[in-house]
Amino acid sequence: MAKGRVRLFPERCKACGLCIEFCPKDVLGFDEETINMLGYHPIKDLKPESCTGCAICAVVCPDLVIEVERV
Amino acid sequence: MDRVLMKGNEALAEGAILAGCRGFFGYPITPSSEIAEYMARKMPKIGGVFVQAESELAAINMVYGGAATGARVMTASSGPGLSLKQEGISFIAEAELPCLIVNISRGGPGLGGIQPAQSDYFQATRGGGHGDYHTIVLAPSGSQEMMDFAIEAFELADKYRIPVMIMAEGTLGNLMEPIVMREPVLNKVDKPWAISGCQGRKPNIINTLHLGSEELENRNLHLANKYKLIQAQEKRAESYLVEDAELVVVAFGIMARIVKKAVVEARKRGIKAGLVRPITLWPFPDEDLRQAAEHARLFLSVEISMGQMIQDIQLALAGRVPVEFYGRIGFTPNPEEILQEIIRLAAREGL
Amino acid sequence: MKKVFQRPESLTEARNHYCPGCSHGIIHRLLAECMDEMNIREKTIGICPVGCSVLAYDYFNCDMLEAAHGRAPAIATAIKRLLPDRYLFTYQGDGDLASIGMAEIVHASARGEKITVIFVNNTLYGMTGGQMAPTTLLGQVTTTSPYGRKVENEGYPMKMAELLSSNEGSAYICRTAVNNPANINRTKRAIKKALQVQEKGLGFSMVEILSACPTNWGLSPVEALKWMENNMIPYYPLGEFKVKED
Ligand SMILES: Cc1ncc(C[n+]2csc(CCOP(=O)(O)OP(=O)(O)O)c2C)c(N)n1
Ligand code: SF4
Ligand code: SF4
Ligand code: SF4
Ligand SMILES: [Mg+2]
């Protein structure tokens, strides 16, 4: 089981990509299927099982899209 | 009543303190500096704040911040200093923060001179900075009024949430006169809009930015309505011998005292002269002028400027009576030269 | 599962208007986290500038006042003097603080005003469309230095942290960057230290934060952070410049 879990608020995401760049486990990616109300493909957890709950993604996100939980 | 001898500038400063002013922010400039010096001595002793700012820009913004806390705060300056303060006054007017701004006025333009002048009339009565706004402008004409109007200014400022200006010539600031000391103002005005930390309530925001067209127009309509209310309620003037006057002289501040002497002398010579002294320069007491115009054949505006208030007189009379002008700058017109002007005009008009 | 990261209470739920990848959002959050951790939200008054962060009054969940361009330190001075037990912060851009507001910031620091200044240095005027600022780097192209900033024409970029640290009234002056997670965490520690210096009444405190403006730099958010590391940090060294001990 994953050690961490991200809770996303995709409607706030501006697809800047900083969380993707800095996530050490490549958990995150853009959701190419969706366009949010801001007009972006928002963030999605593509590999949730790899998340360690390190919260780096949330620390670099300028838009408070991500909450992080850890076991 | 006990009377004390006080200089105009000190009477004004003491009046402000009696009104509960506990913050003074200023930058030295003649002839207003005595007010700052008085406050520098007094404020620390009464638990108030005195800061000599790095410029008038900083000083007026300190007033902006101070007023935002709900405290009664003020600044005083002159000429070029008032020009620098205009940015801040515009913000304060828009944010609807009560405060007192004093102009102990001197002659311009540019660095001008330190002689008393009334040439900041347009700046004071038209808002002065950018945007559609007004400040209430009070023009005292003696030490007693310097004190009284300082108290009244704070009351008006709180009543309407508006910056109030006292405009007084340098002469008034220096004039030593016996005055009756006023009682301290004790009632506190509730200011639920003030910023003081949001303990136990929702955060308060003081801002002047309105990006939406509708929001901006609504703000301006709100302010315009407030100004209309003030115009309806707060116009003030002193009328002297106007009931039967054929020649009405209009003058404010120290100039009105000098004109009064000339009017008395003119009466002795059989000329039916009278005087209207606007006390509020904004709102301008146009109704008092129209009343005085009943029997008048001629108006004369006497100003220590090249002619500014004359425009308000003309607006008030709307062409019903012609308006002449007599003014100087660098010098304050004396009673004799005003009398001569009255005699000359009376002869010309056959009064 | 326990929450290890969530929105700080000192920020409202409003979505910010900043461009994708703009550092303002991160810096807002760091300041708000410090306010939460010190439990001072209800005793804090913030002054926001004119600049891209002019709407910060909608984002901070505390009493806020919006200043005229550059005047925030004068406003904060008066509020702090009248309400000495409150926490005062100003939030200012480099045009706001280092150009039009130069006199206000230098004198607030010289007087040792017990306020905390969050200084967001993104090397240009973001809000008005990317014009040159006093902090624009040599050679940097902006809309008003279209051939690149030249010493002969525009002089040298100003180092505000160094300049203000020479004032006796400055109690804590630090420069940080938000180009990677480690530096973001350092920035948060610096902001907290600055607020603690204010709490102890030691004097003026400022954290200069090197920040990204991807939009006006013409770079992607990720490239912007690299540009910051390669161009800004060498000219604007990070670290503490003044630490007054109690
Ligand atoms: C007196 C005045 N002059 C000019 C402006 C226009 N103006 C608005 S923001 C700004 C520059 C902001 O740049 P900065 O402080 O670096 O903030 P940023 O947007 O980069 O965060 C200018 C010049 C103004 N609002 N007021
Ligand atoms: S918490 Fe860490 S591992 Fe999980 S998504 Fe965020 S950065 Fe990646
Ligand atoms: S950092 Fe935030 S805004 Fe940027 S892509 Fe990730 S979740 Fe979206
Ligand atoms: S213009 Fe620059 S500073 Fe302004 S919001 Fe966009 S990225 Fe941020
Ligand atoms: Mg900038």
This model's pTM is above 0.90? yes
Index of the ligand 3 atom closest to the CA of residue A64: 2
Average pLDDT per block of 10 residues along chain A, 71 residues long: 94 98 98 97 97 98 98 89
Same domain, B212 and B244: no
Contact B206 C64 (CB under 8 A): yes
Same domain, B89 and B14: yes
Task: Indicate if ligand 3 lies below 6 Å from the C-beta of A17.
Answer: yes
pLDDT tens string B162-183: 999 999 999 999 999 999 999 9
Cβ neighbours of A64 in C, within 8 Å: 7, 11, 25, 29
Helix, strand, or coil (residue B176): strand
Share of chain B above pLDDT 70, in %: 100
Distance A22 CA to ligand 2 centre (A): 9
> Which residue, B208, B233, B258, sits at the end of a domain?
B233
Per-residue pLDDT of chain C (246 residues; tens, 9 = 90+): 899 999 999 999 999 999 999 999 999 999 999 999 999 999 999 999 999 999 999 999 999 999 999 999 999 999 999 999 999 999 999 999 999 999 999 999 999 999 999 999 999 999 999 999 999 999 999 999 999 999 999 999 999 999 999 999 999 999 999 999 999 999 999 999 999 999 999 999 999 999 999 999 999 999 999 999 999 999 999 999 999 987
Q: Give chains near A: 3+ CB pairs under 8 A.
A: C
Distance C232 CA to ligand 5 centre (A): 13
**Tokens 């002659």, residue?**
B107
Count of domains observed in chain A:
1
pLDDT tens string B48-104: 999 999 999 999 999 999 999 999 999 999 999 999 999 999 999 999 999 999 999
Same domain, B175 and B248: no
CB C234: neighbour CB atoms within 10 A? 9
Residue B256 is part of a domain; what is its CATH number?
3.40.50.920
Index of the ligand 1 atom closest to the CA of residue C121: 16
Domain C24-243: CATH architecture, name and number where available: 3-Layer(aba) Sandwich (3.40)
Q: In this structure, what token pair is assigned to residue B330?
A: 């660098």
Residue B167 is part of a domain; what is its CATH number?
3.40.50.970
Q: Say yes or no to pLDDT of B2 above 90.
A: no
Same domain, B34 and B133: yes
* Nearest to B71, CA basis, from B24, B139, B110: B24
**Residue B136: what residue type?**
I
Give the residue, by CA position, lying nearest to ligand 2 atom 4.
A51
**What does DSSP say about strands C124-125 and C44-48: parallel, antiparallel, or unpaired?**
unpaired
* Nearest to C97, CA basis, from C121, C61, C113: C121
Q: Which residues pair with C242 in a beta bridge?
A: C173
Q: Give chains near B: 3+ CB pairs under 8 A.
A: C
Q: Say yes or no to pLDDT of B1 above 80.
A: no
Q: Touching check for B204 and chain C: CB below 8 Å?
A: yes
Distance between C29 CA and the closest CA of chain A, angstroms: 8
pLDDT tens string B269-300: 999 999 999 999 999 999 999 999 999 999 99
pLDDT tens string B50-63: 999 999 999 999 99
**pLDDT the model gives residue A1:** 78
pLDDT tens string B194-227: 999 999 999 999 999 999 999 999 999 999 999 9
Is the distance from CB of B27 to CB of B55 less than 8 angstroms?
A: yes
**pLDDT the model gives residue C235:** 98
Same domain, B226 and B248: no
Instruction: Measure the CA–CA gap between B285 and C241, rounded to whole angstroms.
Output: 59
**pLDDT the model gives residue B187:** 87
* Nearest to C158, CA basis, from C141, C175, C180: C175
Range of the domain at A41: 4-70
Count of domains observed in chain B:
2
Same domain, B72 and B108: yes
> Which residue, B198, B233, B268, sits at the end of a domain?
B233
Ligand 1: residues with CB < 6 A are: C 50-53, 69, 93-96, 120, 122, 125-128, 133
**pLDDT the model gives residue B168:** 98
Could you tell me which residues of chain A have a Cβ less than 8 Å from any Cβ in chain C?
4-5, 12, 14-18, 21-22, 40, 53, 55-56, 58-64, 66-71
Same domain, B188 and B247: no
Report the residue of chain B nearest C81, measured CA to CA.
B49
Q: Give chains near C: 3+ CB pairs under 8 A.
A: A, B
Distance A19 CA to ligand 3 centre (A): 6
**pLDDT the model gives residue C205:** 98
**pLDDT the model gives residue C246:** 77
Contact C25 A71 (CB under 8 A): no
Report the residue of chain C nearest A21, measured CA to CA.
C222
Widest distance between CA atoms in chain B: 73
Contact A59 C181 (CB under 8 A): yes
Same domain, B106 and B226: yes
Whole-Å CA distances, C193 to A24, B218, B333, C92, C172: 29, 43, 63, 18, 8
Task: Indicate if ligand 2 lies below 6 Å from the C-beta of A4.
Answer: yes
Residue A17 is part of a domain; what is its CATH number?
3.30.70.20
Among candidates B57, B198, B200 on the partner chain, residue whose Cβ is nearest the Cβ of C62: B198
Between chain C and chain B, are at least 3 CB pairs below 8 A? yes
Ligand 4: residues with CB < 6 A are: C 18-19, 22, 24, 52, 122, 126-127, 213-216
Range of the domain at B250: 238-349
Cβ neighbours of A61 in C, within 8 Å: 25-26
Same domain, B193 and B278: no
